[in-house]
Each structure stands twice: as structure tokens, then as C-alpha cells.
Amino acid sequence: MKIKLSDLIKIIEDWAPKNFSEDFDNVGLIVGDKNSIINKAIITLDTSEDVIDEAVKNNCNLIITFHPIIFSGLKKITTETYVERVVLKALKNNINIYAIHTNLDNHPKGVNYIISKKLNLKNVSFLIPKKNFDIGMGMIGDLQNPEDEYDFLLDLSKKMNSGFLKHSDFLGKKISRVAVLGGSGSFAIGNAIENNADCYVTSDLKYHDYFKAEKKILLIDIGHYESEQFTKDLILDFLNKKIPKFACVKSKINTNPVNYFNYGKEN
């Protein structure tokens, strides 16, 4: 089944409207022509040159990406930076790029909902609800059975496929109430504390962010990519259910730019 890009965009934006996104974001059609007829789409977290090559190899003329390849305006399109090379290669190969980002972060069944499901949280609500909308950034809920801090980290590492966790000081108490926020979440540490979370699972915490725990909460950084890794499945499942005859696949490329070196073994 082929579909006009503008029709596909309407289906996506009925599900995750652009006005759900944050003001700083750049969601929607990033590269391409909305009048294009789409043969097949490939879903990725990031649009790299390898993903463009993968799209060409799989006869996909649409890339649905979580992170927008362009955040700020481009003054030129050459081969000097990876962003310019990606855009240039997409144009040369008639590949459209559509970004769905913080509008899926804020979605009631979006990125953070998936994390809360992976952790089997119950009584889930938004960590930072948006006024006048049934949307919000991050989620908070309760574990079915409280866990010791060490056991919780082990369980979290397995469920989120994260072999490298950074965390603040253990507080010597059970983990029961858990706040989660996929992607960079240092801005919501205070919200997690105000909502009486025992721990806050997010990513991209800096050195001084850990001091903000104030012996009130366990802060855990699971990695940016790791916190958003299930987003491809989220988008694919939606499209498969909404337009089952449309060909859509997940990228097989791990676009995580971060590598871990641990005890002489690179992961």
C-alpha cells in the first residue's frame, strides 16, 4: 500500500499533535515534499548517514525519526557537518524525513508511559502535567512491591537494557514511588521530590545535579538512548494498527553515539 505523505502526516498528528511538543522543538516534516507518495517508511531514534543508507537499501522513501536532524536553522548544505551530510544525502535520494519528538514525550501513552509499563508501575500520572491538556512531561507511579535500592537498580538495568547506571547516594530505604522521564531530565528533579518519589529515573544528569538529591531521593541516570530505546516500537505499533497494509519497518541500526568502556571490555 502506498500513501501520500500529507495523508500519513495527518494520521500521525491526529495521534501526536504538533501542539503537544515543547516550544524549543522542531517536529514535523524536516526534509521533503508533503505531496510525495510514500512506498515504505523506516523508523529510527536518530537520522544518521547509515540510516539514510539503510532506507535506500530497503526502498524506504520516508524516515520517521524521534530526534529531529535539524534543531536550529541551516545556513548552508555542504558536507562539512554530519547534519548537512544527512540532509544532502536524503535530498539526493528523494527521502523524506519526519520528526516526532516532544509531542510523543508529552503524550499520555507516549515515551514515559512505555517506561512506566516496563517498570510495572501502577497508579500512574503525569510528573509535570500541562495545563488545559491531558498531556504532560514525565510520569510517576508505584511499584507493585517495594524493593531495596540495590535490587531496584538491578531490576532497572535488566528491564531497560542498561549496563551502565549512574546514581546518587543510597538512602537506605525501600523504593516504592518511582518518577520517570525519558531523555534529558535534570530540570524535573524538583518535581520528582515534590511528588514524594523515592527515586527518579532519567538521563543526562551532570555532576552538580546529583547534589540536588538532598538526601530526599535516589537519582538514577540510565542513559539517553537507553531511556528512549522503546520509542521505535511505540511508533511502529501505532502505524501497524492504524494502517496495517502500509509497509513500515524499524531501523536495525543502533544510533547510540555513546559507548561504554568497563574493565577492559568495550560494550
Beta strands in 50-94 (DSSP E): 62-65
Query: What type of residue sits at position 146?
Result: P
Average pLDDT, the chain: 96
**Whole-angstrom Cα distance, residue 212 to residue 203?**
15
Query: What type of residue sits at position 208?
Result: H
Residue 263: pLDDT band with limits 50, 70, 90: low
What predicted TM-score, i.e. pTM, was given to this entire model? Answer: 0.94
- DSSP characters over 89-129: HHHHTT-EEEE--HHHHSSTTSHHHHHHHHTT-EEEEEEEE
Residue 241: pLDDT band with limits 50, 70, 90: very high
Say whether 242 sits in a helix, a strand or coil.
helix
Q: Which three cell numbers stand for residue 267?
A: 560494550
Judged against a pLDDT cut of 90, whether residue 131 lies above it is answered with no
Judged against a pLDDT cut of 70, whether residue 22 lies above it is answered with yes
Please name each of the domains of the chain with its CATH number.
3-103+229-250 (3.40.1390.30), 106-221 (3.40.1390.30)
Residue 265: pLDDT band with limits 50, 70, 90: low
| Centroid of chain to Cα 219 | 19
Judged against a pLDDT cut of 60, whether residue 57 lies above it is answered with yes
| The pLDDT of residue 238 | 98
**Whole-angstrom Cα distance, residue 119 to residue 174?**
15
- If you average pLDDT over residues 232-252, what whole number do you get? 97
| The pLDDT of residue 264 | 53
Judged against a pLDDT cut of 90, whether residue 243 lies above it is answered with yes
Query: What type of residue sits at position 219?
Result: L
Q: Which three cell numbers stand for residue 54?
A: 539503510
**Whole-angstrom Cα distance, residue 200 to residue 38?**
41
% of the chain at pLDDT higher than 90: 93
* Span 78-116, pLDDT tens digits: 999 999 999 999 999 999 999 999 999 999 999 999 999
Query: What type of residue sits at position 80?
Result: E
* Span 178-230, pLDDT tens digits: 999 999 999 999 999 999 999 999 999 999 999 999 999 999 999 999 999 99
**Whole-angstrom Cα distance, residue 18 to residue 4?**
19
